[in-house]
Amino acid sequence: MARKGENIYLRKDGRWEGRYMKGRRPDGKPRFGSVYGRQYGEVKKKLVLIKAELYKDGAVPLLYGDGSLHDWTEYWLEVTVRPYIKESTYEGYRRNIDKHIYPYLKDLPIREITSSQIQNAVDRLQSRLAASTLGGVWRLLRSVFTAAHNEGLLLRNPCQKIKIPKAGRRAPRVLTVPEQARLEQAAAEADEIEYLLCLYTGLRVGELCALRWEDIDFEGRILHVARTVQRIQDTRRLHKTRLSVGTPKSDCSVREIPLPLFLSSLLEEKQKKDGALTGYLFPAKKGCRDPRTMQQRIKKLSKQLGMRGVHMHTLRHTFATRCLEHGIGYEVLSELLGHSSPQITLKFYVHCTPATKRKSMDRLARAVQAA
């Protein structure tokens, strides 16, 4: 049988077999059990869950203390983390672990991993990952080791004093007022209300695609954000992805956004034209429109208008910037955007547009001259 990973084999009949020790015989020799599956990942998950059940009640160090980082990480992710996070979050963890952590540390005994080995892995990742991406991988790795330390697998946490490059923060791309006017006119002529909706509500693209007609209160002119759609890994098909509709990014992202009168009227016209009282505002052949389709369309439209660097999130940035330019405070804007706190909003939108800088300098000049 071909072997892949720890005690997982490919049988001649095409199935994968995973073996685990479930006890010892009277003579001291180990007794093994087996699990089977059509896919390697399926068997690996079964083994993790079985081992967790066999060695529960504080005996985790007995099973994983002398094992590899891979052994512990699989237990940590599948048993202690996965039941409590969103599917899309799990897929992100899974991808970062497989692509960026395992290539450097997977087979090392967890109790023997040193700070220098972790620093070396971070330094090598730094050469091929953006600082923000590396920061996410580092936080994930630190969580893995912190949990191991808390469970008693490690006497000390080797993740201390690791040097991580700081992620620079550039001002986001924001449409100028003339650019916004041109885009609005083109969107109206193309009957693509979705771009106007983003420009005047600040919706994320996943929230936009997941909008249903029952989310619109026409009488009160309120838009309810209750779900989002994301493209995630399809565990049933190798190297394939699928759309997943679920709850928004955080609890704060579930929110109500007042609609301008003109936008509410446009939505009513669209509803009458589509003849729909239920279902998605922007449907596809199956379910809702793919966020990738939205991105492709805005890219094509902005290119026709001679605008560079425009994507769906640009519309959200533009909405936030216009709000600040017109005196809407950070606390109100934070609620409209679905941020967890005004500090997050301030962190992202502390920048000034060239127009705002110009107005500020003109006010300063007038004040000095008046004095």
pLDDT tens digits, residue range 211-256?
999 999 999 999 999 999 988 776 666 567 888 888 887 888 999 9
3 state SS of 310: coil
- Beta-bridged to residue 280, according to DSSP, are 212
- d(Cα 262, Cα 184) in Å, to the nearest integer? 13
The DSSP 8-state label assigned to residue 36 in this structure reads E
Q: Which tens digits make up the pLDDT trace of 259-318?
A: 999 999 999 999 999 888 889 999 998 889 999 999 999 999 999 999 999 999 999 999
Check residues 24 and 70 and name the one with the higher pLDDT: 70
Determine phi and psi for 272, rounding to 5 degrees: -65, -40
Phi, psi dihedrals of residue 310, rounded to the nearest 5° = -100, 130
What are the beta bridge partners of residue 224? 256
- 336: CB partners within 8 A, 6+ apart: 201, 202, 255, 257, 323
Structure tokens at 103: 């290539």
pLDDT at 1 over 70: no
- Backbone phi and psi for residue 246, each to the nearest 5 degrees, phi listed first: -150, -165
Which position has the higher pLDDT, 18 or 199? 199
Report the pLDDT value the prediction gives residue 62, as an integer from 0 to 100: 55
Q: What is the pLDDT of residue 108?
A: 92
How far apart CA 324 and CA 328 sit, in angstroms, is 5
pLDDT reading at 3 higher than 60: no
Show the tokens assigned to 2: 């071909």
User: Does 194 score more than 90 pLDDT?
Assistant: yes
Using the 8-state DSSP alphabet, how is residue 32 labeled?
E
> What is the torsional sign of CA 30, 33, 36, 40?
negative
Domains of the chain by range and CATH?
Answer: 55-168 (1.10.150.130), 177-361 (1.10.443.10)
Average pLDDT of the segment spanning 172-187: 93
Whether pLDDT at 180 is above 80: yes
Give one DSSP letter per residue of 215-283, joined into a string: GEETTTTEEEE--EEEEEE-TTSTT-EEEEEES-SSGGGSEEEEPPHHHHHHHHHHHHHHT-SSSBSSB
- 67-91 mean pLDDT: 86
> Mean pLDDT lowest for which of 7-21, 23-37, 322-336, 337-351?
23-37
- pLDDT exceeds 70 at position 258: yes
Q: At residue 121, does pLDDT exceed 90?
A: yes
Comparing C-alpha atoms, which of 216, 218, 114, 109 is closest to residue 160? 114
Least-confidence region, from 41-50, 201-210, 351-360: 351-360
């290119």: which residue's tokens? Answer: 303
Dihedral sign from CA coordinates of 85, 89, 94, 96: negative
